[in-house]
Every structure is written in C-alpha cells, then in structure tokens.
Chains A and B, each alone.
Chain A
Amino acid sequence: MTLKLIIGNKNYSSWSFRPWIGLRAASIAFDEEVIPLYDDGSKEQILARSPGGKVPILIDGDVKVWESLAILEYAAEKFPAAQLWPADAAARAHARAVATEMHAGFVALRGECGMNMWRPVAKKELSADAKANIARVAEIWTDARRRFGAGGPFLFGRFCAADAMFAPVVSRFETYAIDVSAPVRAYMQAMIALPAWQEWRRAALNETWVIPKFEESYPNVQRLKA
C-alpha cells in the first residue's frame, strides 16, 4: 500500500514541507492530500485523520504518524536504503541534534518570517531574537558543511532528514533577503536547485488559498508568478 502524506497549504505550511521534501528527494513514493489550513472545516478534517490535530500526517496502512520529526524517523526505519540519516554514527548523531534543534527552536525567526513562498523577495525589520536565531542557523549550516559535508552540497554531503528539517528556513532566508555568507548561500542554492524543491514551489505559487494572518500587507497580497 502506498504511503499517504496529509499536508497543509504548500505556500505556507513549513511543517508540511519538511517530510514532503524529505520523502520526495529520497525518491520514496507517496500520495498526497492537501487540506487548506484555517479554512472552514479544515480543523475537523485534520482531527478526523489524526488526534494531534496538526498536519503533516503520514498514513501507512494502520499506522498514523504525525509530527515532522517522527515522520522522518518512521520513514528512515521503513526505507533504510533511502538513507534519510547519514550512515556514519557521528554524523547521524549530529544530524539528529540539529534536526531536533530546528524542531523545537528558532521561535522568533519562525514568528517574524513566516514561510510564504509567493511573497516577492524583500527585506523586513527583524528583532534581536530573530537575528540571533539567524546567526545560530547559519552557524549550524556552516559547521555541518565544514565537518560532514565533503561528500556533496548538503549539510552532511548528500541530502538527508536534517536538510529536510531546514528546507523551510532556506525558503525564509531567501524570501526575506537575509544577509548570508558565501558558504551559506551555496548551501541554499543546492537546496533550491533540488527538483523536489522546484516541484513544491511551483505548486505553492499556483495555490489560490490566501491566509490573511500570514500576509503582512493583507488585503494587499503581492505574489510571485509560478
């Protein structure tokens, strides 16, 4: 039976993007179901599928998994050949540490720079907390690339679950024109060049659901064209 991933809007749902790009970039087949968030009945639709009440949700027969990190761990176990985590134990431990740091952290950055793929690239005034988050993210990326990244352009060489966890942050850095170093820019470019990224972005830009609270100048919504 094919896996099914239930996700929110591709334009806005950063948590949905993580397992989606993790599975897609690793060539793990799945069907997707999109539930537009903050819409009439969307909460009920999600609760009907998972008691967690949040997307994303992975359904594999009788098994229902929610929480992005738990989904990635589940897929890593089910598809060992896809190597969702690095093969080396030390690299794997590091990958999980930074993936987990992402899972629970960077609250200021997430709050101030919501993922919004169709937003035209432009800078925004940021708080000191968000700037500290940005510095830590850049440090995580640079450090992982330097220590473990020799085998490819991603954090641990080839694309892994840690990259999937940071994919929406790459999108935010891009959208909000965050100043970055050359190595960080190179990492972002590798991520954005992924066919999986391009596929998600195209679909996001073609969506018609606008969520007012995620648009800075609502009701004026400026959109990049797909």
Chain B
Amino acid sequence: MKLVIGNKNYSSWSLRPWIAMKALGIAFEEIVIPFGEPIGNPEFKAKLAAYTPAGKVPVLIDGETRVWETLAILEYLAERFPAKQLWPADVQARAAARVLASEMHAGFSALRGECPMNIRRPIKPRAISAAAQADVARIEAMWKEARARHGGPFLFGKFSAADAMYAPVVTRLNTYGINISRDTRDYMDAVMALPAFAEWRAAAIAETWIVPEDEADWPTVLTA
C-alpha cells in the first residue's frame, strides 16, 4: 500500500491518513510530491495526475484501487483493516466519531485559512478573526464533550480516525498560541505525544521547501 502526500510541513490533509496508519500500525510506503510554488503549479499537478483525477493529495494506492479524499481513505482503511478499529466499536460512538470527522472535513474554514498548518513555525501567538474564534470554540466544545463521554485521552478513548482528522488542528492551535482551555491542552498533549506525531514533525522540520501561501508571517519565515 502506498500513500501519496504533499509537504509534511504544510499538508494538513496528508497528515490525517498518514498519522492514522502510523498510529494504528498499518504498513505503507509514502510518496512525497512537494507542492512547489505557486500552489497548484503545473509541475505538481502533472506529477499528481499519475495518481488521481481530483488533483489533490493525499491519495491511497492499494493495488488497482486508488482512493482520494482524506475521509474516503479513512473509511477504506477501516473496512480493509477491521482489526485496527479505525472507528470506535460502539455504534453510538462510531456515529459521533463520523459526525466529528465530517464537520472537520467540510468546516472551520476561517481557522484553516488564518492559521495554516506550518509545523516548523515557532510557537507565536497570532490574532484571529471572530469567525476563527468561533471555529475554535466549536472545536473545543466537541473535543470536551467527546472526551468527557468516552474518558479520553483521545476523543473516543483510544486513538481513532476522528483524532486523525483533528491532528492538524492540534498543531495549528499549538503553533499560533491560541487561547484554549486546560481540557483542550490535555487532548493536544495526548496527540502530540504519539510517536507517529513526533516522526511526522521531525520530517516536517527537516524539509527545506517554503510555500509562501502557507506562511502566515510572510515575507518573514519564522524558523526555530
């Protein structure tokens, strides 16, 4: 099985299935296609076209089957590796996990736009709009409710596809020094303590590619 991803420093969509597979012990090879610049440049598109008609990373390749869209990849893996329990075993918890994952998949555009994932950026607070603050409030409420109901440390007890969907949000809240509750911080610590997260982070920091569109402080590029 192969996973086609973009830059580890910036590609939040790539992080999602990657961390799910690593954290749950599903073996795969990775193919990194750097975004280059500007975003959506012909070279990137041409390289990616060999793997997907949708023009976006990530893409999972399993023999003849090619799956794009993060959430579809996670569903595919859940079916393909039932023993890994990508979704919670309990019906009600599973429905709730899919709701959280779907809200992430299509939502929180203000937060995503203002706080792009940028793993190497040193922690430095950034002022965010009221819309982004509302996104943060909604995310915190969902995380808190899920963890209170299922006991933590992850959203549904043990690590699941829902946590994979929110992993890039954890890095954003951390990187941009967003004001959050103690409870949210505990969850973020649990995600960032995953060996899979540390592995991704180390690789992201070692990358040298710069994508201006994702540098919130551009033309300054903050580095550690």
Do B64 and A90 touch (CB < 8 A)?
yes
Query: For residue B156, which residues in chain A have a CB less than 8 angstroms away from its CB?
Result: none
- Taking a contact as CB atoms under 8 Å apart, the answer to whether B65 and A90 are in contact is yes
Question: Bound state CA distance, A174 and B101, in angstroms?
Answer: 31
Contacts of A99 in B (CB 8 A): 72
Cβ-neighbour of A96 out of B64, B72, B92, B96 (below 8 A): B72
Number of B positions contacting A (CB below 8 A): 28
Which B residues are CB-close (under 8 A) to A52?
Answer: 99, 103
Asked if B72 and A62 sit within 8 Å, CB to CB, the answer is no
0/1 interface trace, chain A 74-108, chain B, CB 8 Å (1 if under): 10010000000000011011101101110110000
Alpha-carbon distance A101/B53, docked complex (angstroms): 11
In the complex, what distance in Å separates the CA atom of A99 from the CA atom of B105?
12
The answer to whether A93 and B76 touch across the interface, beta carbons within 8 angstroms, is: yes
- The 8 Å CB contact of B102, one of A67, A77, A136, A143, is A67
Main SS of the interface on chain A? Answer: helix
Quick check: A89 and B65 within 8 Å, CB to CB? yes
B140 within 8 A of A: no
For the complex, give the distance between the alpha carbons of A76 and B64 in Å.
Answer: 25
A73/B98 in contact, CB under 8 A? yes
Rounded to whole angstroms, the CA-CA distance of A104 and B94 in the bound complex is: 21
Interface: B128 (CB within 8 A): no
Alpha-carbon gap, A68 to B112, bound state (A)? 21
Residues of A near B76 (CB, < 8 A) are 93, 96
- Contacting B75 at CB < 8 Å: which of A67, A73, A101, A104? A73
Q: Mark B66-80, 1 if CB is under 8 A from A, else 0.
A: 011111100110010
Q: How far is the CA of A90 from the CA of B142 in the complex (A)?
A: 33
B101 surroundings in chain A (CB, below 8 A): 70
Is A65 at the interface (CB under 8 A from chain B)? Answer: yes
CA distance A82 to B75 in the complex (A): 19
> Which residues of the other chain, B, contact A140 by a CB distance below 8 angstroms?
53
Chain B 111-141 near chain A by CB (<8 Å), digits 1 or 0:
0000000000000000000000000000001
Nearest chain B CB to A92's CB is how many angstroms away? Answer: 8
Interface residues of chain B: helix, strand, loop or mixed (majority): helix
The size of the chain A interface, using a CB distance under 8 A, is 29
Most-contacted residue by chain B among A65, A69, A92 (CB, 10 A): A69
Asked whether, in the complex, the Cβ of B99 is within 8 Å of the Cβ of A70, the reply is yes
Q: Is A33 an interface residue (CB 8 A)?
A: no
Evaluate contact between B92 and A100: CB separation under 8 angstroms.
no
How far is A137 from B54 in the complex, measured between Cα atoms in Å?
10
Q: Is A139 an interface residue (CB 8 A)?
A: yes
Q: Is B27 an interface residue (CB 8 A)?
A: no
Give the complex CA separation of A100 and B102 in angstroms. 9
How distant is the Cα of A188 from the Cα of B80 in the complex, in angstroms? Answer: 33
Question: B98 near A96 (CB under 8 angstroms)?
Answer: no
Is A74 in contact with B98, judged by CB distance below 8 angstroms?
yes
A51–B71 contact, CB under 8 A? no
Separation of A96 and B68 alpha carbons in the complex (Å): 9
With A63-B92, A67-B103, A143-B53 as contacts: A103 and B64 at CB distance below 8 Å: no
Q: At the interface, yes or no: B91 with Cβ under 8 Å from chain A?
A: yes
Q: How far is the CA of A183 from the CA of B72 in the complex (A)?
A: 26
A66 at the binding interface (Cβ < 8 Å): yes
Bound complex: CA of A119 vs CA of B38, how far in Å? 39
**Extra pairs beyond A70-B101, A89-B79, A96-B76 (8, CB < 8 Å):** A65-B99, A73-B98, A74-B95, A77-B91, A96-B72, A97-B68, A100-B69, A140-B53
Residues of A within 8 A of B (CB): 51-52, 62-63, 65-70, 73-74, 77, 89-90, 92-94, 96-97, 99-101, 103-104, 136, 139-140, 143
